[in-house]
Amino acid sequence: MDNVLNFVIVGHVDHGKSTLIGRLLYDTDSLQPDRIAEMEKMSKSRGRDENEFAYLLDHLEEERKQGVTIDTTQVFFSTDKRHYVIIDAPGHVEFVKNMITGASQAEAAVLIVDAEEGVMEQTKRHSYMLNMLGLKQIITVINKMDLVQYSEERFKQVQSDVQEFLASIGASSDITLPIAAAKGDNIAKPSENMPWHKGPTFLDSLDSLKGRIPAEDKSLILPVQDVYKVDDKRINAGRVEAGCIEQGEAVKVIPSGQKTKVQSVEKFLEEPERACAGESIGITTEDALFLDRGDIVCREGGEPTLADCFRARIFWMSKRPLDTSERLFIRCATQQTRCSIDTIEKRIDSSTLKVLEENGTKLENLEVGEVIIKTKKEIAFDDFNSTQEMGRFVLVKDENIVAGGIITGR
Ligand code: GDP
């Protein structure tokens, strides 16, 4: 099973995020027996009849703080269908930064809402954040249904409130489920307390989400990193970012538009006939083309977009504020060219997710900007959601990276 889906759980504080994570680990047998025993002991000592699942997460958090475990920002579990990674979002700033700079990649999100409290301030902010980050697969869970006597009417009310809010920001959630994370209702098993819910359980809903299209199933993208001259051969070296490349196949070079055939695919001490996404290789071409760093080898019909202006979301990470009048460099795949920020359509505080200004001229440290970027030369790119490596970039000033960004369209 090499099928993995990364997702994030967001929601208002106390609506049950940690409890849901704890419950998922418990119901999918992902916990060490001593962990379960510890949780049971702790729950009893606090006079609880039920297990306090959130404790499992608090415990991980404790360990993380003490530096005992290295990697607890990610939680793993599996179903029969695939492996899951819950990307923890300890704070918005980190999450937004990681998503925008590509350090972590969630394919889906779970929005958790307390059935009693309904939509709250953070429910709104987090929904906004998911939308801003381009997360389209959203499962909404209405939690703590036990506190509202498993009422279908209350569920429908909260469901419609959530949907109305999502629609108002241009987002949507295809699946909404009534659950009680603490009790296990509709998590791994259909709930006997809610026979009116005919839909899937939470785990079934996760299994129905679409995973990422494997990079090698996409159209070929080979950004040229270096060109070596060996005897009379020119070897164009780079990492295959998407698709596969084969000896003898017809390829096109962007931006020149030249066409040729692949004469050989070369790897250190090997000459494979074919190489796929993730492999660092060199190719020689049948025609003597003079490729250079920054050129993109692709397939006709599967070319990235070529333009000198595009929309993006950037995460500004320099103490010196961005000023729209300044000159920067953009690096995308192996391309580098001069650029400037033409318009800052929205300036967003990454911790509160509040829109601070529309059509502004400055971005401060840790702010997100929805911007239009103009480049001096045309560059090849793709929407981040289709080919990440061609949709992600950094902005550089005086050799320092001052922002990371993703391309959202033209
Ligand atoms: P978080 O802040 O979103 O991580 O919320 P927690 O998981 O810590 O839950 C907050 C409180 O709600 C805790 O006291 C949980 O025991 C309680 N809680 C979580 N899920 C349920 C549920 O399904 N039913 C009830 N009655 N309480 C729940």
Give the model confidence (pLDDT) of 71-96 as tens digits.
Answer: 445 788 999 999 999 987 656 677 77
Rounded Cα–Cα distance for residues 139 and 110 (Å): 5
pLDDT of residue 75: 82
- Looking at every residue in the chain, the average pLDDT score rounds to 89
Residue 355 buriedness (CB in 10 A; 0-12 / 13-18 / 19+): middle
What whole-number distance in Å separates Cα of residue 66 and Cα of residue 134? 34
Query: What is the average per-residue pLDDT within 303-317?
Result: 93
Distance 113 CA to ligand 1 centre (A): 11
pLDDT band at 33 (very low <50, low <70, confident <90, very high): confident
| ipTM surpasses cut 0.90 | yes
pTM of the model: 0.77
Helix extents (H) in 28-145 = 33-45, 54-66, 92-101, 121-132
Q: Ligand 1, residue 185: give the atom nearest the CA.
A: 23
Query: What is the Å distance from ligand 1's center to 89 Cα?
Result: 17
- CA dist list (Å): 145 to 115, 181, 186: 6, 9, 10
Dist. CA 294 → ligand 1 center (Å):
51
Residues having CB within 6 Å of any atom of ligand 1: 11, 13-19, 52, 54, 143-144, 146-147, 180-183
Task: List, in sequence order, every residue forming a beta bridge with 180; answer none if it has no partner.
Answer: 185
Q: Which residue has the higher pLDDT, 272 or 96?
A: 272
Residue 58: pLDDT over 80: no
Higher pLDDT pick, 71 / 103: 103
Confidence of residue 61 (pLDDT cuts 50, 70, 90): low
Nearest residue (by CA) to ligand 1, atom 18, is 16
CB crowding 251-275: b at 16 or more within 10 Å, else e: bbbbbeeeebebebbbeeeeeeeeb
Minimal-distance CA residue to ligand 1 atom 9: 16
Q: If you measure from the C-alpha of residue 288 to the centroid of ligand 1, how many angstroms do you get, rounded to a whole number?
A: 66
- Closest by CA to 133, choosing from 165, 171, 159, 174, is 171
DSSP 189: B
Question: Domain 215-298, what fold?
Answer: Elongation Factor Tu (Ef-tu); domain 3 (2.40.30)
Residue 182 CA to residue 202 CA, distance in Å, equals: 13
The per-residue pLDDT for range 201-230, each reduced to its tens digit, is 999 999 999 988 788 889 999 999 999 988
Q: Taking residues 28-37, what's their average pLDDT? A: 84
- What confidence tier does 376 reach under pLDDT thresholds 50, 70, 90? very high
- Above pLDDT 90, what percent of the chain? 60
Q: Could you give phi then psi for residue 7, rounded to 5 degrees?
A: -140, 165
Close Cβ partners of 20 (under 8 Å, ≥ 6 residues apart): 9, 53, 110, 112, 141, 143, 179, 181, 187
Give the right CATH number for 4-208 from 3.40.50.300, 3.30.530.50, 3.90.1150.10, 3.30.70.270: 3.40.50.300
Judge whether 370 and 346 are in contact, CB under 8 Å: yes
Residue nearest ligand 1's atom 16 by CA:
52
The residue whose C-alpha atom lies closest to atom 25 belonging to ligand 1 is 144
Residues in the chain: 410
In the structure encoding, which two tokens stand for residue 355, read together? 């829109």
| Ligand 1 centre distance from Cα of residue 49 (Å) | 14
Over residues 304-314, the mean pLDDT reads 95
Q: What is the DSSP letter of 270?
A: B
Architecture of domain 305-409: Beta Barrel (2.40)
Q: How far is the CA of 279 from the centre of ligand 1 (A)?
A: 45
Domain-by-domain residue ranges, the chain? 4-208, 215-298, 305-409
| Listed residue (173, 180, 126) closest to 154, CA to CA | 180
Fold match flag (215-298 vs 305-409): yes
In whole angstroms, what is the distance from residue 111 CA to residue 376 CA? 41
